[in-house]
Amino acid sequence: MKNRRIIMNSILSIFLAMTMFAGAGCASDKKTDGVDKSDAIQIKIVLEDGAEMKGELYPNVAPKSVENFVNLIEQDFFDGTIFHRCIEGFMIQGGGFERDFYDGNFESKETATIEGEFTDNGFKNDLKHTRGVLSMARTSQPNSASSQFFIMHQDSPHLDGQYAAFGAITEGLDVVDKIATGATTAIEGKITFQGEEYTQQMTDVPVEPVVIKTIDIIE
């Protein structure tokens, strides 16, 4: 009887372990906080100084935003662009300007615009703007997003439903911290609008350029 109890307990332990393992395996395929993060696309952002961040893009959350971002990655669009607006406790923004931004060239490198995939624009997107989340920058026009994106330094719930969150940084948040807390300044430059050239001031600009060397899709 004693040997039988030992065998039965061993079988039960194995069964429980298999059940827990199976449950853990399924968890990655289910929704997290009500958001479908299955089929995530893995990316790596490498800065000119060698710092790296890894992240995920969620096509089941914001398909057009992800498709646009992936297309730009495949075109090497982001290579040489900078994080031009960095606010501690809020976010870091990049993807639209190159190093000559510091010489006063405020003509952005943006591409064709896409639909704004956020709740207030009639699109269901429940991904919250929590620390590390990737989201599309835009103007006051809801469908004006193109290439510029931002990474949340800290939670900013007031952005939920207002901007198209589409991914998250999963490794390298210390890099986000370093960028967000770095010294910033204001610079003046030129921008053309409706055929007229204007002088504009940009604030929250990193004193030292934060340059993206590459963004790649990884397996």
Residue for token pair 């986000």 = 176
pLDDT given at position 46 = 98
Could you tell me the CA-to-CA distances from 202 to 40, 53, 86, 193, 195 in Å, in that order? 34, 26, 11, 16, 20
pLDDT given at position 31 = 61
Measured CA to CA, the distance from residue 3 to residue 116 in angstroms comes to 65
Per-residue pLDDT of the chain (219 residues; tens, 9 = 90+): 434 443 334 433 433 333 333 333 333 445 667 899 999 999 999 999 999 999 999 999 999 999 999 999 999 999 999 999 999 999 999 999 999 999 999 999 889 999 999 999 999 999 999 999 999 999 999 999 999 999 999 999 999 999 999 999 999 999 999 999 999 999 999 998 888 899 999 999 999 999 999 999 998
Could you tell me the CA-to-CA distances from 4 to 10, 16, 65 in Å, in that order? 10, 18, 59
